Structure 1
Amino acid sequence: MVDLSGRVAIVTGAGGGLGREHALLLARQGAKVLVNDLGGAADGTGASLSAAEKVVSEIKSAGGEAIANGASVTDYAEVEAMVADVIARWGRVDILVNNAGILRDRTFAKMDLADFRAVVDVHLMGAVNCTKAVWDLMRDQGYGRIVMTTSSSGLYGNFGQSNYGAAKLALVGFMQTLGLEGEKYNVRVNCLAPTAATRMLEGLMPQNMLDALAPAQVSPAVLALVSEAAPNRAIICAGAGSFEEANITLTSGIFVPPGEDAAEQILSRYAELTDRDGEIVPERGGVQGDVELRKAGFRLAVTQEA
């Protein structure tokens, strides 16, 4: 069993759905949990602390320790104050689960840019704000586990979710770099891509499918990703009791000498360029350049830094 005794966790968007289940599970495994939730509607409007307080009551009733917080993840001053409250009460922060999010779905042609910015602000900048507020604390104590909530909409696209998809894939890039920067400090950063029946999916799926996608079946992935044995820089997909890993890969590709017909060669050899036999998962951004220079005939004596 994963033991989180003595660990302190912050879970954002934890007043209901996935966040609630994450918070309850971490608390059952011994963590002290700050339950953050603005308490707004699915589109981000409104605010109330009641949802977070209800989850705190559930945790306390089960013998755990928790506090409620209503900070908006989009307001860095509020986030800093939230972290300061955790430090004042429990002295450290070991775990951050960036779960808060909103939806404002429309096709891009019909989408107001204000709705695009609002979704990016909550999902991406909300995670950035919360992570920034705990980053130095985790580095200084030599321990930290951070989970970003990405989505299949970001990894693979989804009609009507250009704002949501853009924010969710941006979190993968954020995770990849932080995982590299935090590794020597034992700060591990990963992504979760959940499929769960939350209020964001109401009306989008038949009820029998929603019933199968209980949020509680996703939370074991979060527990694994915040454990002492957590991986680093993984994208774990989870839903209906199933777990997978997503990867961004690089094919072996082709070399096309400079020339006026370079574009035509790319098109005519496109099947070869995209052949996935021998593809790799680069361990850092600079690997792409390494591969390309080798195909161009260069021998790299020193590994390039990204």
Structure 2
Amino acid sequence: MMRTVIVTGAGQGLGRAHALAFAATGHHLVLNDLGADRLDAVAAECAAAGGKVLTAPGDIADWEFAGALVERAVAATGRLDALVNNAGLARDRMLVNMSEAEWDAAVRVNLKGHVAPLRHAAAHWKALAKAGTPADARVVNTTSGAGLQGSVGQSNYSAAKAGVATLTQIAAVELARYGVTVNAIAPSARTAMTEQVFADNMRAPEHGFDAMAPENVSPLVVWLASAESGFVTGRVFEVSGGSVGIADGWQHGPAVDAGRRWDPAELGPVVRDLLARAPQPAAVYGA
């Protein structure tokens, strides 16, 4: 049976690569991006690769549009099997120079642009479960190394992507009862955002394996969106080139319990001891 997948941010970069990978494996695609022209171009490529494609240009961070997108997918195909939240943007600026508009834009697209379609897809899957026909559905979110370790000059983007990672964990627990798994990827690949900021690292080699090609990320996304992946949920996968790994997030570390309220004067030695026993956090990118 052909599975129906929504891919947001499908007009370029990772989203385009994901769409083409799904098309090549016989999926019914509902593609979203803000720009209709580039979305139509990707849709044509997907159709040529054998996929059945609908396009839905619009602002994925708009709550009503996100709901209409989910409704359109279900109305057109009779089902929704996977949501791939990929849409994002960067408004890089050192925190001391950042404007309110730059903060709001990054958080709106990168975080709310995940929440809005996820909320409406979740409501659809809940209704199926309540009707006695639970889905076997998948959500694949897109966080970032910037959201896991932080990135200098990207506090807005990093905060939003950290929110995506936590959203993934929460949604995985909340939606499990409806037959839905929720995972995230933290990709490293050449996109419109990264090829400018990390130009040297992202440049394609003249010969050999192009480790930063966005197409390298898509096989994991296709697998996570498949029926086969039902045993994994609430995890973040780091993927780059030919490497796939599990991101190990915040864990409870060493602690000291005095059994009473602490006096501030006591805490210097206590904190020094805790820091000595705790693992060092991963370095912030660009530090």
Superposition TM-score tier, normalisation by shorter sequence: 0.7 to 0.9
Q: Which amino acid is 2:249 matched to?
A: I
* CA deviations over 1:125-163 (Å, ceiling 9, x no partner): 111111111112223242210011000001001111000
- Distance in 2 between residues matched to 1:209 and 1:107, nearest whole Å: 22
Deviation at 1:207?
A: 5.1
- Distance in 2 between residues matched to 1:75 and 1:268, nearest whole Å: 47
- Distance in 1 between residues matched to 2:151 and 2:64, nearest whole Å: 33
Larger CA deviation: 137-146 vs 166-175:
137-146
Match for residue 36 of structure 1 among 28, 32, 37: 32
Q: 1:208 to 1:170 in 2, by over 3 A?
A: closer
Deviation at 1:15?
A: 0.7
Q: Secondary structure at the match of 1:21?
A: helix
- Distance in 1 between residues matched to 2:272 and 2:106, nearest whole Å: 40
User: What is residue 282 of structure 1 aligned with on the other side?
Assistant: none
User: What is residue 224 of structure 1 aligned with on the other side?
Assistant: 223
Tell whether 2:73 aligns with 1:73.
no
Match for residue 163 of structure 1 among 144, 147, 156: 156
- Distance in 2 between residues matched to 1:209 and 1:170, nearest whole Å: 25
Structure with more relative contact order (C-alpha pairs < 8 Å, separation 6 or more): 2
Count the aligned residue pairs. Answer: 263
Match for residue 101 of structure 1 among 54, 78, 88: 88
User: What is residue 102 of structure 2 aligned with on the other side?
Assistant: 115
- Give me the identity figure in percent: 34
Question: Contact 1:256–1:262 at 8 Å: present in 2 too?
Answer: no
Q: Which amino acid is 1:186 matched to?
A: G
Q: Secondary structure at the match of 1:154?
A: helix
- Distance in 2 between residues matched to 1:210 and 1:98, nearest whole Å: 25
Q: Which amino acid is 2:29 matched to?
A: V
Tell whether 2:117 aligns with 1:124.
no
Deviation at 1:275?
A: 4.6
Deviation at 1:60?
A: 1.2
CA-based RMSD: 1.7
- Distance in 1 between residues matched to 2:95 and 2:279, nearest whole Å: 31
Q: 1:27 to 1:262 in 2, by over 3 A?
A: farther
- Distance in 2 between residues matched to 1:275 and 1:18, nearest whole Å: 33
Q: Which amino acid is 1:202 matched to?
A: E
User: What is residue 59 of structure 1 aligned with on the other side?
Assistant: 46
Deviation at 1:38?
A: 0.4
Question: Contact 1:256–1:266 at 8 Å: present in 2 too?
Answer: no
Tell whether 2:82 aligns with 1:89.
no
Match for residue 153 of structure 1 among 146, 149, 157: 146
Question: Contact 2:195–2:202 at 8 Å: present in 1 too?
Answer: no
User: What is residue 19 of structure 2 aligned with on the other side?
Assistant: 23
- Distance in 1 between residues matched to 2:8 and 2:164, nearest whole Å: 15
* Gapped regions of structure 1 (runs ≥ 5): 40-48, 277-306
Matches within 5 A, 1:133-282: 133-139=120-126, 140=128, 141-206=134-199, 209-211=202-204, 212=210, 213-230=212-229, 231-257=232-258, 258=260, 259-260=262-263, 261-275=265-279
* Gapped regions of structure 2 (runs ≥ 5): 129-133, 205-209, 281-287
- TM-score, length-normalised on structure 2? 0.87
Question: Contact 1:254–1:272 at 8 Å: present in 2 too?
Answer: no
User: What is residue 285 of structure 2 aligned with on the other side?
Assistant: none
- Distance in 2 between residues matched to 1:76 and 1:208, nearest whole Å: 36
Question: Contact 2:23–2:47 at 8 Å: present in 1 too?
Answer: no
- Distance in 1 between residues matched to 2:113 and 2:279, nearest whole Å: 38
Question: Contact 2:254–2:274 at 8 Å: present in 1 too?
Answer: no
